[in-house]
Amino acid sequence: MNYVLDIPQPEHATDAAPLPATRVQPARIGPLVVDPPIFSAPLAGFTDHAWRQIVRDFGGVGLLATEMVSAEGFYYQVGGMKGCIERLWGVKEEPRPLAVQMWDNDPETLAWACRKLAFEYQVSVVDLNFGCPVRKVSEKAESGSHLLRFPTKVNEIVARVVKACAPVPVTAKIRLGCTWDSLTAKDVARAVEDAGAAALTVHGRVAADFFSGRANWERIAEVKPVLRRIPLIGNGDLNSPAAILNAFRRYPVDGVMIGRASLGRPWLFQQAARALKGESAMPEPGLAEQARLLLRHQRLIVERYGEESGNMLMRKFACCYAQGRPGARAFRGRASRCRTNAEFEQIVRDLFPKPRISADETDERR
């Protein structure tokens, strides 16, 4: 593609000048040392094998995570739950460290599934989800964030899984509570630690928020005094190296977890890692480079799922790459209907945001 590489950076681009360093120690998750203490969030439908490969190539992430997996689906491997097995494709072979997140409300089902992850798949960390607000998980299955109402049940689940997986560390991810009138994070944190978990991640919203509003980091910080021995990982609205540095400087967290902001910007982990060291920040890749990365991502997806299914799955990623860019709406409209490789490449060539040309450059070309 004949794009110009030397272009103005998007508004959210980082300055090439180094940000002031801050003293950050590696996070210790049982026997695992996570350095830098930057974690990727498990995001259902997104943090698949192809995405993890791209993030790993950029570097900067201390611990990658797979998509969230249903323990029941993993157990039965039937019907609509086959997708749960698909989410573990490539896990046995890919580099470590790697975490897998499981959800359910039955201690025995979770213990069986997590033990299999620990010893057959040999994952580095088994993570338990107590924060998902999606209705089919929280309401229909009475799992995820639904369990924030029941710290005793959380303790029972974590203890059973810890016993089944030892010595592989078990961690948990929670929200502040189900609603702002019922903030149970402290009670749940005690239950998680008392059950033998190796770390706790707290997302700074309640389940009722889903992903609206702003994450409340002051409330995340309030959980730290409750924990006696395990690290606290903060999560929510970490969309720039500066925001990540600020989280470490202002709040008593031992690590940070980056989620949705990285879906269209897989280089964010490397930017953050460099910022923590006080090194010159990796500049935001130019639009031409982003377009090439998008096409590489598409090829990885198609290699796994075939042309039609792969391009259908790629639609959501394409929308993430275009988010916040000029012309994103037109690009999303076309990409959301794409089914073939040729069509996808044409859409990227025609509609992926082009470098802006200044008035002076336009005059020079005349």
- Catalytic residue IDs: 132
Torsion sign, CA atoms 238, 31, 270, 130: negative
What CA–CA distance (Å, rounded) separates 55 from 263?
A: 10
Q: What are φ and ψ of residue 306, in 5° steps?
A: 90, 165
Q: Say if CB 297 and CB 353 are below 8 A apart.
A: no
Closest among 257, 281, 252, 223 to 37, alpha carbons compared: 257
**Cα-to-chain-centroid distance, residue 176:** 18
Q: Report the DSSP pairing between strands 177-179 and 182-183.
A: antiparallel
Counting every residue written for the chain, the total comes to 366
Q: Say if CB 332 and CB 322 are below 8 A apart.
A: yes
What CA–CA distance (Å, rounded) separates 239 from 253?
A: 17
Q: How many helices (H) and strands (E) does the chain have?
A: 15, 12
Q: CB neighbours (10 Å) of residue 296?
A: 14
| C-alpha distances in Å from residue 247, one per residue of 3, 14, 239, 241, 244 | 36, 17, 11, 10, 5
What CA–CA distance (Å, rounded) separates 236 from 181?
A: 20
Give bridge partners of residue 171 from the DSSP assignment. Answer: 127, 199
Instruction: Tell me if residue 315 falls in helix, strand or coil.
Output: helix
